[in-house]
Chain A
Amino acid sequence: MRPFGGGGCRPDGEGPRDDLLNRLSSSAYLDEEIQHHILERAEVLVQAGWDEDAALEEATRRFGDVDGVRREMGKARGHREGPSTIHLLTAFSAQVRYAWRGLANNVVFTAAVVTTLALGVGAATSVFSVLDALLLRPMPYREAGRLIEVNKGHKDDAYTFGLPIELANGWKDAAAEFTDGWLEYSRTSLVRTDGPVTEELNVLAVTPAVDTLLGIPLLMGRSFTPADAVPGADEVAVITAGYFRRLGADPGILGSTLQLESGPVTVVGVLRGGIKFPQILTQPDLWVALRDDHTLLDRPAESLDGVWARLRPGIELGPAQARADVLASSLQEENPQPRGWQVRLMPVGSHRANGDMKRAIWALTATVGAIFLIALVNGVNLLLVRTAARLRELAIRTAIGGSRSRILGQFLVEGLVLGALGGVAAAGLAALTIPAIGRIVPRQVLLFSPHALEMESRTVLFAFTASLVAGLLLGLLPSIQILRHRALHVTLAGRGTHQTRGRRWIRSGLVMGQAALSTTLLVVAGLFVRSYATLATVDPGFDHQTIAMADITFSPTRYSEAADRAEFVRRLGAALDASPYTDGVTTTNGSGITFGVELLAEGLPAPASQPTMVPFTTVATNYTTVMGVVMASGRGFLPTDVDTDAAVVDLDLARLLWGQADPVGRRFRVWESQPWYTVVGVAEELRLLGRDQRSGPYQILFPASPDEQDRHVEFAVRTTGDPARILGFVRSAVLDLDPAQPIDALRTASAALAEEEGTPRFTVALFTLLALIALALSGVGLYGVLANSVAQRERELGIRLALGAMPRKLRRSVVANGVTIAGVGLMLGLAGAMVASGTVEPLLYEVAPRDPVTLLGTAVFFMLVAVAASLMPARRATRGDPVEVLRND
């Protein structure tokens, strides 16, 4: 067994080897051999009736001059005397090998410590990978420090939006005074008609500046040139490495032509690896040039997904933003924007995580920090128990002249070996959990990060650093304990070594700390669970249980005419409605959010406070009926409302504008230059963007004309039974109508709502899992301390049993001990939870941070676990046969 292979030098038994490695490691072995002899001799003396301490002293005396013998042994092996200053690494590796042997001899102990470390560090590593992708890792672009995003935002709100296309050219010219590079990109999808299969390709249109700004890593061919962006130039494409592989990695692809539904494009280059742009979820198959007139493949780009610029050298963000504010007012005249809008310059990637997400990530980081500490305490406790068992060995080593520094060194190396093993296990665990997290992480979370959630070198480095630090602490703490014991009390007859009161208190104190930390985590997790449960019971204002939904995006080439789209919608609606399983079909034609609103009711003063944003949705006139929206007053839309100023608002908005008065028949407007709308009905509740109130408390519906249809349409089909059962029927109805028309999303309304709530659900799942790990670890910690103290008291307990003590009473005393430790920890933890819950409060939905149900529930649950952890050692306390126990002693 030589896991740290290499030198091939066994320190013993292979003849003379005059190298330092051999010398140093064998010096440890020499000590051990001498120590073994003294122990054996002392044992013989004890059997002959000597007192234990005297026996050890006599055995050492009979051995003779320990130092002299050690020197002679060294000489016998051909070693020179005197320390060498070189080859420290070799010396270290010898120590490592010695420590490894010690650990390999005690598999159960080693496995326990390594498992504990793996759990603690593994959890920390998994969360680190999320933290890293969202906040820490630098953006993977050339001169990323000078790259900025040019966004649009409202002054009262943190949200940012891409720069509108119509503003892009004006800003590009204006910003040239402080930027020396400008990049725009836009995403679309197109069907390739001459491929092995007819498939839809994801296309990224990007301005040629991408090459000079970011640098395009090419496998072959060329990237875009400014000539490619001139309107009317030949259409060229650079295909991505992924698509290149899918096409069989044939270099002959270069120069060939792909037939897209828009026409032919010539492949001029193949990307190596690639550049991941934020805000683009599906990796593109090919890149094309975004032209100067904002067309791509002869069609106008729908919108820009990103506009980036590079600051001129020496120009800071602050002055650039100040200059942009000045420019904004002059550009405002050419292209007026609603009040409060501004152009926002931000470092690329600075909004990878929004405020709530940052808060959640830091809360998670604190959580895994706590788990790490809990795991560390378990490790330290295990080592303290082992150290107690090794006191005799250490005493003898001190007696035969083993220096304290050498003992300390050995402990540290042992800790490092444990840390390294723990690091391997933790990295392995993280390699399993990180892809799992990647699968359940909501798409919204990683939308703005250019990094994927995956195991990579930084993650592995983190796992090993954390694990080695833990290992170092594990080695250090128990050895300090040992070294402080000036007079090592040594007994030879086995289990007599009693734990000193001090050490028992240290261990109990550590376990209390664990209990406190895990209680805090449990409370926080409990709050998230309660918050999510509350959210799930909120009425979204429509009858989501019986509705199936299908999102459809029309192909820009095949359905370029609004009339064709409207015809498709009409025919699909009729087909769906004809089924005996359906009970009505309606559509949502478009929705959006109006920012910077100035809501005003006609004839009334403006309300004191304005919401930052108001979502609006354009719906078919039967919408409120089919969706089962409960009307507080007025009515839903009628076909005659189309092309009028009719609107339906929710009760929140009605209250804001008209107070308790009935608004039906009254007029309002959203902002100054928009027309007035007349309220025809008020809905009790409308939470179309998810049940979480924060995503939009106000909602306005407008009637859609059946003859106009956007590129996106959302079908809602009401069923007589379980909506999941008609999903297949909806799919085949679409296929019947147009086999080439894909469905973006097909799910029940409840599932759609759950998807909107993906982030809170993810948070709940993660916090709950971590809190349970913490609970399990501290349960093990409590069990360990009690089991050890029972083992230490075996003799006392045996005597008490023999003297007729009631077993039940003894058991109760052990459990009481455990409950006391856990109880004190619980109190501390609840106090900690008061602080911690305040920091997560903004993430909670209608749950008070000091929710009594959560606090009480946590306390009861935790104490149950504590009692369970105490019961096993308590049973063991009275299981032993008293006679046996005493005889063994």
Chain B
Amino acid sequence: MHGFQVLSWIEESSSGALLVEEGALYPALHRMETRQWLRSKWAVSEKGRRAKYYDITAKGRRALSSEARDWNRYVEAVASVVEGGSSA
């Protein structure tokens, strides 16, 4: 997936709720690449343009599952606090 496809995918799956400034995506992609969570290659897109394609690495997958676990724990914690608070 190249950057614009990533963005479009996020837009679609979040119904446009998540991103404010499109450009902000790219420093994030590059940081993840630096941490070797992503790898990239340049290729010609189906529209005939040169584009940079990103792909997740094994390290990236591990990071994703651990980050997702953290995130879920965080969401659960917040939810229980919010729910507990309301039931209290």
- The chain A residues found within 8 Å of chain B, CB to CB, are 12-13, 15-16, 29-30, 32-34, 36-37, 39-41, 43, 62-66, 68-69, 72-73, 75-78, 101, 105
Contacts and interface: CB of A to CB of B under 8 A. Distances in A.
A47 to B, nearest CB: 12
Contacts of A63: 21-23
A34 B49 contact: no
Interface string B14-50: 0000000111101110110110100111101001011
A29 B33 CA distance: 14
Interface string B68-85: 000000000000000000
Contacts of B36: 15
Contact of B27 (A36, A62, A69, A78): A69
Given A37-B23, A40-B4, A73-B26, 16 more contacts: A12-B42, A15-B34, A16-B34, A33-B52, A34-B26, A36-B2, A36-B50, A37-B22, A43-B47, A65-B21, A69-B23, A69-B24, A72-B26, A76-B27, A77-B30, A78-B34
B4 A37 contact: yes
A69 B3 CA distance: 13
A12 B40 contact: yes
Contacts of A76: 27-28, 30-31, 33-34
Contacts of B33: 13, 15, 76-77
B56 interface: no
A726 to B, nearest CB: 70
Contacts of B2: 36
Contacts of B34: 15-16, 76-78
Given A36-B4, A69-B27, A72-B27, A41 B41 contact: no
A271 to B, nearest CB: 58
Contacts of A41: 4, 22
Given A15-B34, A62-B22, A36 B3 contact: yes
Contact of A65 (B3, B4, B23, B39): B23
A66 B41 contact: no
B23 A34 contact: yes
Contacts of A13: 33, 39-41
The 9 closest A-B pairs by CB, nearest first: A72-B27, A64-B21, A76-B30, A69-B23, A64-B23, A40-B4, A76-B31, A13-B40, A63-B23
A69 B4 CA distance: 15
30 contacts: A12-B42, A12-B52, A13-B40, A15-B34, A15-B36, A16-B34, A32-B50, A32-B52, A34-B26, A36-B4, A36-B52, A37-B4, A41-B4, A62-B21, A62-B22, A64-B21, A64-B22, A64-B23, A64-B24, A65-B21, A66-B23, A69-B24, A69-B27, A72-B26, A72-B27, A73-B30, A76-B31, A76-B34, A77-B30, A105-B44
A40 B49 CA distance: 10
Contact of B50 (A65, A73, A77, A105): A105
A101 B26 CA distance: 22
Contacts of B52: 12, 29, 32-33, 36
A62 B52 CA distance: 20
A75 B26 CA distance: 11
Contacts of A15: 33-34, 36
Contacts of B31: 76
A29 B40 CA distance: 12
Contacts of A29: 42, 52
Nearest to A14: B39
A32 to B, nearest CB: 7
Contacts of B41: 12-13
A49 to B, nearest CB: 18
Contacts of B7: 37
Nearest to A36: B51
Nearest to A26: B30
Contacts of B26: 30, 33-34, 37, 69, 72-73
Contacts of B24: 64, 69
Contacts of B30: 73, 76-77
B23 A33 contact: no
A13 to B, nearest CB: 4
A852 B60 CA distance: 81
B44 A75 contact: no
A68 B26 CA distance: 11
Contacts of A77: 30, 33-34
B70 to A, nearest CB: 21
A15 B24 CA distance: 20
Contacts of A16: 34
Contacts of B50: 32, 36, 105
B46 to A, nearest CB: 12
A73 B24 CA distance: 9
A33 B44 contact: no
Contacts of B49: 36, 39
B83 to A, nearest CB: 37
A66 B3 CA distance: 15
A73 B4 contact: no
A30 B39 CA distance: 15
Nearest to B2: A36
Contacts of B22: 37, 41, 62-64
A62 B31 CA distance: 21
Contacts of A105: 44, 50
Nearest to B42: A12
Nearest to B6: A37
Q: Which of A37, A64, A66 has the most CB of B within 10 A?
A: A37
Contacts of B42: 12, 29, 101
A42 to B, nearest CB: 11
B42 to A, nearest CB: 6
B57 to A, nearest CB: 10
B21 A75 contact: no
A34 B30 CA distance: 12
A73 B23 CA distance: 10
A15 B2 CA distance: 18
Q: Which of A13, A16, A66, A69 has the most CB of B within 10 A?
A: A13
Contacts of B3: 33, 36-37
A818 B41 CA distance: 45
A75 B24 CA distance: 13
Contacts of A75: 27
A493 to B, nearest CB: 13
Nearest to B31: A76
B39 to A, nearest CB: 5
Contacts of A32: 50, 52
Nearest to A393: B49
B11 to A, nearest CB: 10
Contact of A73 (B21, B27, B40, B51): B27
A442 B22 CA distance: 73
A79 to B, nearest CB: 10
A32 B42 CA distance: 11
Nearest to B4: A40
B54 to A, nearest CB: 9
A16 to B, nearest CB: 5
A66 B42 CA distance: 21
A325 B26 CA distance: 87
A43 B51 CA distance: 15
Contacts of A78: 34
A12 B4 CA distance: 17
A792 B42 CA distance: 31
A63 B44 CA distance: 22
A37 B1 CA distance: 12
Nearest to A101: B42
B61 to A, nearest CB: 17
Contacts of B39: 13
A429 to B, nearest CB: 32
A2 to B, nearest CB: 13
B45 to A, nearest CB: 8
Contacts of B21: 62-65
B24 to A, nearest CB: 7
Q: Which of A12, A33, A78 has the most CB of B within 10 A?
A: A33
A64 B44 CA distance: 25
A76 B23 CA distance: 14
